[in-house]
Structure 1
Amino acid sequence: MTLTTTDVTVIVSTLACFAAMYKESKKSTLSLPPGPQRWPIFGSLFSMPGDDDMREKFVEWKHKYGDVVYARVLGQEIVILNSREAAFELLECRSFKYSDRPRLVMANELVGWGNSLATMAYGDRHKRMRKLFHEGMSPKAIQKLDYMLENEMTRFVQNLLEAPEKLHSHARRATNATVFKVTYGYDVKDGYDPILAKAEETVDMFSYVTLPGTWLVDSFPSLKHLPWAPFKSKVQEWQKLVYEFRDMPADFTIDRMARGKHEPSLMSNWFDRAEEQPGGRTDEDDLFIKWAGASIHGGATDTTISAIQTFFLAMIYYPEVQKAAQAEIDRFVGNDRLPKLSDRDSLPYLEAVCKEVLRWQPVAPFAIPHRLGPEDDIYQGMRIPAGCILIPNIWGMSRDPTIYGDPETFKPERFIDTENHEAEFDVQNYIFGFGRRRCPGIALAQSSVWLAVVMVLAVYDITPTLDASGKPIMPDLKYSQSTISAPKPFPCTIKPRSLNAEKLIRDSIEGQAPRV
């Protein structure tokens, strides 16, 4: 019998259908990952951690259920990845499946963060913005801006001399000023700065509205249509805040460019490139570039501030680390100048200190969740359900005793190769996220934290504040439970290491005009 083309097509199609049905039936027989008990309707709701114990609960679940844990809360399926192996396999190696974000009804659809790189849906717009960042924020590109970072961190060191008790506000100002300078060519004013104030308020709000499990509307999107929903009044206020945050610094750059008075920045470079494209720069280009700028600031500031604060905490608790780092600086930099980014390759222990800061207290302990696409996946014989959200337990990875010896202790030497010790797994491979959602501003963040650490240690001693009886006041190590985790404000004593160090700080002030 001779088969026609139509016959072949029918047979192939039928076999393909049977193969697909078999594959689906095989998937349906696979077990979901283990996890806490699930009840009808509510699922695992009553087992989920509260605001104060996510770290402890997820570590407990790892010991009880394993590296991959499944929970379902009010219909939303959640998979928690407790090991770097599971996170790398799914979020890195299979990133084409796992690069989307949860719907985030509150943050994206109501408040207006849907066009920010960190939370936007995966697609062409996301790829276009990441390309902008990779071109403008690569290590080579950031190296050209070293002088900007060094100027702002020099001001940080100076401000600590004048008012050491204001450590936290100085750290916030220095980090924000660095990001504003690099992104917009904008100098943050001394004293009150309206753009800085707006940015700080907006970034704090971002951490609040993106925290998983906070908003009922994220589980029941139809609630957003209820005019009397209790969150509606705050939503309008937050929307206004987001759009002002997006526009104010970008409009500054646009105005300065129009008058020919702008400084080189990421924003001015992006606007110039948009002008060169066929058809010139459009309103859509302007809006896209504004969102790119807002994405940099939103992703770079609170994370860097938290890391700097963690560094000060670590120096209070581990004075021997402080002394070892200062000895390395004295050996290779000397005492007659402040360190620069060009010294970085000569200071391996300082590099290890910065890595340990990121591991000891991760700035984003659970990152921003990923979402699996429209098809189920399989991992080690377990079914990962389509559309589930995945939470990488970065905190748990940083505490894994099979990777890090004595993980609760601050030990920079763990990252240094010696004859008797192989360097432990580099925290920077996962602390900044995974796959196509990995933070594109890594070079800026690393340089900013390193510069703050090395400049402070070059000229200051950091010790606990003493109480009335002369006993040291050891700060609380409990961190906030928001998307970006940070310590509570804490007292500490910051004093110049010597008269020569104080003179070095004061000499660096000369020639820096106040900003108005």
Structure 2
Amino acid sequence: LIQTVKLRLFLLLLHWFHPYLLTTSSNSFPSFPLARERMKSQYVTNICLLILCLGAANNTPWPLLIFLASLLPLLHHTCRVPGGSAWRGVPAAPGPAGWPLLGCIPFMGPLAHRRLAELAASHGASRLMALTVGATRVVISSHPDTAREILCGSAFADRPPKEAARLLMFERAIGFSPSGEYWRHLRRVATGNLFCPRRIAAQEGLRQRVAGDMVRRVGYEMERKGSVELRGVLERGSLESMVGSLFGESSLGREREEELVGMVKEGYDLIGTFNWEDYFPMGGLLDFHGVGRRCKTLAEKVRSLVGEVIAERRRGGLHSHVGLGEDFLTALLTLPKEESLCDSDIVAVLWEMIFRGTDVVAILLEWIMARMALHPGVQAKAQQELSACLGGAQRAVRDSDIPKLPYLQAVVKEVLRLHPPGPLLSWARLAVRDVHVGKSLVPAGTTAMVNMWAITHDGSVWADPWAFRPERFLE
């Protein structure tokens, strides 16, 4: 009699679950992450059955079993809102419901751009996809038109809060300051004193010296070990070039540069570490990886090192550095009084330039070298163009030679297309007001991301998007 009652209760539970469950053919197995999205209900069913079986085997009271087994499908049904629970009560673009409580956090791994591109395709939401990450409302664009609205529109003027970046950049850097007069002032200072054509031309000698050092370092490692650890050579060269532009040549010394290399690596590790505080209120209480503590420690090291350089520059006098070839630090210290920055702001700006300008350049150069090795025909064409430009002269390439090297420029563009730096998170914005993107409403406070990788691999935008073909930029 007891077994009969248990069986009847079991069948009743299955009948109760039925309205909330979706079935998937066992013969079809869609690609990840679409498989996970479609089979999520089957996972819920299996978990419920597991609870019932384990409970029966351990003589767990049936009322408790029924409560536990019913909790999962009810929670699953409650969270099945287009775009996830954060979009409840808000008209949302198409998108996955996500997991209860977690949303789409399981998709936000190292290859999040690929997984989210598959989700956008499966939901017909390439123009704009809504989703929930933890408790955060997010939209993702995988189409050029909506990406342009997000990246160029004034409604997305801010960056989403990211605790590691906020701590590492002292809340004062250009890329992480809130939109306003201070941010515009920093942009004007950087544009007029670091990225202007006059300043770039003045640094040509520095770039040639760094490039020569990199070539010699490669030759030395080949002679000594028979192989080259290319990433280290490129990181070192990128850092030397950036440090020379910011502080002047030979301003830091070998020991400080080595320390900066370690700081940059640790900073990127912290930025890439999952942090609960970015997605949940009071998430800082779940800082299992110690991201906040490590960021504060690293920020103090940066403040100490860069602060020492600023103090030394002030003590040594600024007159000897002023001129056409002056470095960025001297330019910052000699700004007119009405435009001047305090030392804390100068530290933040200089550290941001080092941090953002070192690893990205090194990774781009590494991809260029990898593509050249994988495509010897492309490498031969680029080498032939260089030889024709130099005319057999034994000299380094100058800035004035670049317009004469269209194929090499096309190679760089094609590498950037196939391997965009920061394919997803580097393009994040924050909606400062309610705005329509396409036909979809994006409420204020929504994080907006552009999946640049999905756009550069879109067959409707690029012919044969997976092929490495620099010639497409010359046609």
**In the alignment, which residue of structure 2 is the partner of 1:277?**
337
- Tell me, in whole angstroms, the C-alpha distance in 1 between the residues paired with 2:387 and 2:308: 43
Residue 308 of structure 1: CA displacement? Answer: 0.9
- Tell me, in whole angstroms, the C-alpha distance in 2 between the residues paired with 1:319 and 1:157: 20
**In the alignment, which residue of structure 1 is the partner of 2:161?**
103
SS of 1:404's equivalent in the other structure is coil
Q: Is this contact kept in 2: 1:32–1:383, CA < 8 A?
A: yes
Q: Is this contact kept in 2: 1:186–1:249, CA < 8 A?
A: no
**In the alignment, which residue of structure 2 is the partner of 1:264?**
326
- Give TM-score, length-normalised by structure 1: 0.67
Residue 30 of structure 1: CA displacement? Answer: 7.3
Alignment of 1:205-216 (within 5 A): 205-211=266-272, 214-216=274-276
Q: Tell me: CA distance 1:145–1:381, structure 2 relative to 1, closer, same or farther (3 Å).
A: same
Residue 244 of structure 1: CA displacement? Answer: 3.4
**1:199 is aligned to 2:264:** no
- Tell me, in whole angstroms, the C-alpha distance in 2 between the residues paired with 1:29 and 1:166: 53
- Tell me, in whole angstroms, the C-alpha distance in 2 between the residues paired with 1:170 and 1:330: 25
**1:361 is aligned to 2:419:** yes
Q: Tell me: CA distance 1:151–1:127, structure 2 relative to 1, closer, same or farther (3 Å).
A: same
- Tell me, in whole angstroms, the C-alpha distance in 1 between the residues paired with 2:387 and 2:264: 37
- Tell me, in whole angstroms, the C-alpha distance in 2 between the residues paired with 1:176 and 1:44: 36
Q: Is this contact kept in 2: 1:82–1:392, CA < 8 A?
A: yes
1:178 to 230, 235, 241: 241
**1:35 is aligned to 2:95:** yes
SS of 1:390's equivalent in the other structure is strand
**1:71 is aligned to 2:131:** yes
Residue 285 of structure 1: CA displacement? Answer: 2.6
Q: Tell me: CA distance 1:230–1:267, structure 2 relative to 1, closer, same or farther (3 Å).
A: closer
**In the alignment, which residue of structure 2 is the partner of 1:16?**
none
Residue 380 of structure 1: CA displacement? Answer: 2.4
Residue 255 of structure 1: CA displacement? Answer: 4.2
Amino acid at match of 1:58: L
**1:138 is aligned to 2:204:** no
- CA deviations 1:173-192 (Å, max 9, x no partner) are 21111111111103278xx8
- CA deviations 1:331-380 (Å, max 9, x no partner) are 12122222211101111111111111212212211143534344321122
Q: Tell me: CA distance 1:112–1:344, structure 2 relative to 1, closer, same or farther (3 Å).
A: closer
**In the alignment, which residue of structure 1 is the partner of 2:449?**
391
Residue 226 of structure 1: CA displacement? Answer: 8.6
Alignment of 1:333-352 (within 5 A): 333-336=390-393, 337-352=395-410
- Tell me, in whole angstroms, the C-alpha distance in 2 between the residues paired with 1:390 and 1:83: 13
Residue 28 of structure 1: CA displacement? Answer: 11
Amino acid at match of 2:382: A
2:388 to 312, 331, 335: 331
- CA deviations 1:211-230 (Å, max 9, x no partner) are 4x810122235344799995
**1:187 is aligned to 2:250:** yes
**In the alignment, which residue of structure 1 is the partner of 2:359?**
302
SS of 1:80's equivalent in the other structure is strand
Q: Which of structures 1 and 2 has the larger relative contact order (alpha carbons within 8 angstroms, sep 6+)? A: 1
SS of 1:238's equivalent in the other structure is helix
**In the alignment, which residue of structure 2 is the partner of 1:490?**
none
- CA deviations 1:220-269 (Å, max 9, x no partner) are 35344799995454344223233235434444543443584787211112
Q: Tell me: CA distance 1:249–1:342, structure 2 relative to 1, closer, same or farther (3 Å).
A: farther
- Tell me, in whole angstroms, the C-alpha distance in 2 between the residues paired with 1:111 and 1:330: 44
Q: Is this contact kept in 2: 1:98–1:370, CA < 8 A?
A: no
Amino acid at match of 2:266: M
Amino acid at match of 1:195: R
Q: Tell me: CA distance 1:81–1:227, structure 2 relative to 1, closer, same or farther (3 Å).
A: closer
Q: Is this contact kept in 1: 2:173–2:349, CA < 8 A?
A: yes
Higher helix share: 2
- Tell me, in whole angstroms, the C-alpha distance in 1 between the residues paired with 2:291 and 2:351: 24
- CA deviations 1:459-509 (Å, max 9, x no partner) are xxxxxxxxxxxxxxxxxxxxxxxxxxxxxxxxxxxxxxxxxxxxxxxxxxx
Q: Tell me: CA distance 1:361–1:40, structure 2 relative to 1, closer, same or farther (3 Å).
A: closer
Alignment of 1:42-191 (within 5 A): 42-45=102-105, 48-65=106-123, 66-67=125-126, 68-92=128-152, 94=153, 96-108=154-166, 110-111=167-168, 113-136=170-193, 137-164=195-222, 165-187=228-250
Q: Tell me: CA distance 1:204–1:116, structure 2 relative to 1, closer, same or farther (3 Å).
A: farther
Residue 50 of structure 1: CA displacement? Answer: 4.5
- Tell me, in whole angstroms, the C-alpha distance in 2 between the residues paired with 1:73 and 1:255: 50
Residue 292 of structure 1: CA displacement? Answer: 1.8
- Tell me, in whole angstroms, the C-alpha distance in 1 between the residues paired with 2:281 and 2:262: 26
Amino acid at match of 2:146: A
1:400 to 449, 458, 474: 458
Q: Is this contact kept in 2: 1:374–1:387, CA < 8 A?
A: yes
- CA deviations 1:152-206 (Å, max 9, x no partner) are 11221222222242432221121111111111103278xx822222222222233
SS of 2:171's equivalent in the other structure is helix
Q: Tell me: CA distance 1:44–1:291, structure 2 relative to 1, closer, same or farther (3 Å).
A: closer
- Tell me, in whole angstroms, the C-alpha distance in 1 between the residues paired with 2:182 and 2:137: 26
Percent of paired sites with the same residue: 20
Q: Tell me: CA distance 1:135–1:60, structure 2 relative to 1, closer, same or farther (3 Å).
A: same
SS of 2:140's equivalent in the other structure is strand
Q: Tell me: CA distance 1:295–1:252, structure 2 relative to 1, closer, same or farther (3 Å).
A: farther
Q: Is this contact kept in 1: 2:170–2:348, CA < 8 A?
A: no
Residue 37 of structure 1: CA displacement? Answer: 1.6
SS of 1:77's equivalent in the other structure is strand
- Tell me, in whole angstroms, the C-alpha distance in 1 between the residues paired with 2:291 and 2:425: 24
- Tell me, in whole angstroms, the C-alpha distance in 1 between the residues paired with 2:88 and 2:103: 19
- Tell me, in whole angstroms, the C-alpha distance in 2 between the residues paired with 1:104 and 1:76: 12
What is the RMSD of the two structures over their aligned residues, measured on CA atoms? 2.9
- CA deviations 1:384-414 (Å, max 9, x no partner) are 1220111111111121122222222221111
Q: Is this contact kept in 2: 1:186–1:253, CA < 8 A?
A: no
Q: Is this contact kept in 2: 1:118–1:299, CA < 8 A?
A: no
**In the alignment, which residue of structure 2 is the partner of 1:254?**
314
Q: Tell me: CA distance 1:249–1:135, structure 2 relative to 1, closer, same or farther (3 Å).
A: same
User: Can you give the 5+ residue segments of structure 2 that lack an aligned partner in the other structure?
Assistant: 1-86, 223-227
- Give TM-score, length-normalised by structure 2: 0.72
- Tell me, in whole angstroms, the C-alpha distance in 2 between the residues paired with 1:228 and 1:316: 41
Q: Tell me: CA distance 1:120–1:205, structure 2 relative to 1, closer, same or farther (3 Å).
A: farther
Q: Is this contact kept in 2: 1:99–1:372, CA < 8 A?
A: yes
- Tell me, in whole angstroms, the C-alpha distance in 2 between the residues paired with 1:346 and 1:152: 22
Residue 38 of structure 1: CA displacement? Answer: 4.0
Amino acid at match of 1:310: W
| Count of equivalent residues | 378
Q: Is this contact kept in 2: 1:245–1:294, CA < 8 A?
A: no
- Tell me, in whole angstroms, the C-alpha distance in 2 between the residues paired with 1:166 and 1:40: 44
